[in-house]
């Protein structure tokens, strides 16, 4: 089941509900650590799509958002058949970077599973650039004032 929405909570802008799939488990019966990056990436893509941005169109225009750095702090594992939600908050840092704070919570008990921080840099032909105005405006319009 996939469910997403723009959040009305003070710390997050967006959330995406997902379920663990059997093939994501390792020998210990927990979600393999590498799979969590896929969860975070999928949530970022869904967030951008939800606010009207399309990676394919941006690429065709010569702009790519490239992951520069990922930090993940594992709190507890996800297991077979667990449902969970990935919550996201984006903030601009400087002129070319966005920080995506992404946390994963197990459902239905809302136990924190992972705290993540992903830094993305906008690039054109391998060089950092300012993101296009429509990108800045779409994210800003959906950013919660702090």
User: Going residue by residue through the chain (146 aa), what tens digit of pLDDT does each one get?
Assistant: 455 554 445 589 999 999 999 999 999 999 999 999 999 999 999 999 999 999 899 999 999 999 999 999 999 999 999 999 999 999 999 999 999 999 999 999 999 999 999 999 999 999 999 998 999 899 888 765 44
In 3-state terms, what secondary structure has residue 12?
Answer: coil
Query: Which residues span the domain enclosing 14?
Result: 3-141
Q: Please name the residue ranges forming H helices in the chain.
A: 35-50, 55-60, 133-141
| Total domains present in the chain | 1
Q: What distance in Å separates the CA atoms of residue 45 and residue 127, rounded to the nearest whole number?
A: 22
Q: Is residue 110 part of a domain?
A: yes
Domain containing 20 — which CATH number? 3.10.129.10
Give the CA distances from residue 60 to residues 45, 56, 57, 65, 124, in Å, rounded to whole numbers and listed in that order: 16, 6, 5, 12, 11
Q: Is residue 33 part of a domain?
A: yes
Q: Which residues are catalytic?
A: 26
pLDDT at 8: 47
Do residues 64 and 124 touch, judged by C-beta distance below 8 A?
yes
Residue 146 domain-assigned (yes or no): no
> In the prediction, which pLDDT does 55 show?
85
């Amino acid at each position: 089941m996939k469910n997403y929405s723009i959040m009305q909570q003070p710390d997050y802008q967006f959330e995406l509900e997902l379920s663990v799939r059997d093939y994501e488990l390792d020998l210990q019966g927990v979600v393999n650590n590498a799979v969590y990056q896929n969860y975070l990436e999928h949530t970022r893509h869904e967030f951008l799509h939800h606010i009207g941005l399309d990676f394919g169109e941006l690429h065709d225009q010569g702009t790519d958002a490239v992951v520069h750095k990922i930090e993940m702090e594992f709190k507890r594992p996800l297991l077979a058949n667990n449902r969970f939600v990935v919550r996201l908050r984006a903030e601009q840092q400087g002129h070319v970077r966005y920080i995506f704070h992404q946390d994963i919570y197990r459902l239905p008990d809302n136990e924190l599973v992972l705290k993540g921080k992903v830094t993305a840099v906008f690039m054109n032909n391998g060089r950092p650039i300012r993101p296009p105005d429509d990108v800045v405006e779409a994210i800003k319009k959906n950013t919660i004032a702090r």
